[in-house]
Amino acid sequence: MADSVTGRTSKIWRDGDIVNWEDATIHVMSHVVHYGSSVFEGIRCYDTPNGGAVFRLRDHMRRLTGSAKIYRFPMRYSVDDLIQATVDTIAANDLRQCYLRPVVVRTGEQMGFNPENVPVEVFIICWHWGSYLGHDAVEHGTDVQVSSWRRAAPDTFPTMAKAGGNYLNSQLSKLEAKQNGFAEGIMLDSAGFVSEGSGENLFLVRDDVLYTSQMSNGILHGVTRDSVITLARDLGYEVREMQMPREFLYLADEAFFTGTAAEITPIRSIDRLPVGEGKPGAVTRSIQKEFMGIAKGRVADRFNWLTPVPSPVSAKA
């Protein structure tokens, strides 16, 4: 059978045990298959001159336990347990860099969507994954459209929870964009203000000020977004988290997406209108450079964002 995951590895953490990739299966009658009941994370481990290092691991695990709390998943693991499990998973696969996917799933074979008493399992998977929108997009920018699909209204699906079901909305936006010849869709919130990409947060730059949607615009509270806000302010830029009308997208000098998978991907056009000069701008470049510099250990980790992982067995003397 062909591997459906490019860059797959050999071991997966399953509720405290390290199991073979092939054995990390669930039943078709699992609650999650029918009702989308999962919460998850996307995390990156980078290869640095001092060995592998996971980027903002504690913040990701805090978001995971928060997502689980919102949906009332019983969690047997603390943030510290999950941090240790992540390091163990990377070590079991003998890796220095990877993408990590912790996922909490209602795997119990129980029908009816009421989730009470449905058994829950936790998995941590890792594999090799390049930048989500592609290396070319990271270098030259990407072309996007405003989606006709909106982010969920605040009293429908909680967008601060990174839940599997939310990604049906993302899939519609992404599919629409791809079928229209764009790489990605930017969704508006239920009131028509700018929200975010299908799997990324969004920043605009105008007159050297950075703008990004606020939490109440139906966004996921991105770890990369938070890192960019911190870095931009540290580099002397003003950052405003605010409600933005759609047309502000067309007036930006620069625009970029942020996300663990997408990292920092410049946007060169929106709805076929060029963003600024239609290529990545100077502010985007300076933030991209600083962010990747810290993640890859080339710039001092002054915000304490990296968790070292044990050196792979093969790298030991």
**Looking at the annotation, which residues are catalytic?**
162
Binding to ligand PMP, residues 158-177 (CB under 6 A)? 170
How many other C-beta atoms can be found within 10 angstroms of the C-beta atom of residue 293?
A: 14
152 near ligand PMP (CB under 6 A): no
Rounded CA-CA distance 267/141 in Å is 5
Q: Least distance to ligand PMP from the beta carbon of 151, Å?
A: 8
Distances (CA, A) of 230 to 194, 224, 227, 245: 21, 10, 5, 24
Query: Nearest 5 degrees, angle CA 266-CA 268-CA 270?
Result: 115
Would you count residue 224 as binding ligand PMP (CB under 6 A)?
A: yes
Write the DSSP symbol of residue 89.
Answer: H
Nearer to ligand PMP, 160 or 299 (CB): 160
CB of 100 to ligand PMP, least distance (A): 11
- Does the protein bind ligand PMP through residue 185 (CB under 6 A)? no
Applying CB under 6 A, the site for ligand PMP has a residue count of 14
- Of 105 and 229, nearer to ligand PMP (C-beta) is 229
CB-nearer residue toward ligand PMP: 11 or 142: 142
The first and second tokens of residue 9, run together, are 């590895």
Which stretches of the chain are DSSP H helices? 31-35, 57-70, 79-92, 135-140, 166-179, 223-234, 248-251, 282-295
Minimum CB separation of residue 116 from ligand PMP in Å reads: 27
Bridge partner residues of 106 (DSSP) = 120
Smallest separation, CB 175 to ligand PMP (Å): 15
Q: Please tell me whether residue 260 binds ligand PMP under the rule CB under 6 A.
A: yes
Q: Tell me: does residue 42 bind ligand PMP (CB under 6 A).
A: yes
Per CB under 6 A, contacts with ligand PMP among 186-205 are: 196, 199-201
For 197, residues 6+ apart whose C-beta sits below 8 A from its C-beta are 144, 173, 184, 185, 186, 187, 257, 259, 262
Instruction: Give the nearer residue to ligand PMP in terms of CB position, either 243 or 311.
Output: 243
Nearest to 48 by CA among 293, 226, 228, 235: 293
Is residue 258 within the footprint of ligand PMP (CB under 6 A)?
A: yes
Tell me: does residue 102 bind ligand PMP (CB under 6 A): no
Q: Is 263 among the residues that bind ligand PMP (CB under 6 A)?
A: no
Interacting residues with ligand PMP (CB under 6 A): 42, 170, 196, 199-201, 220, 222-225, 258-260
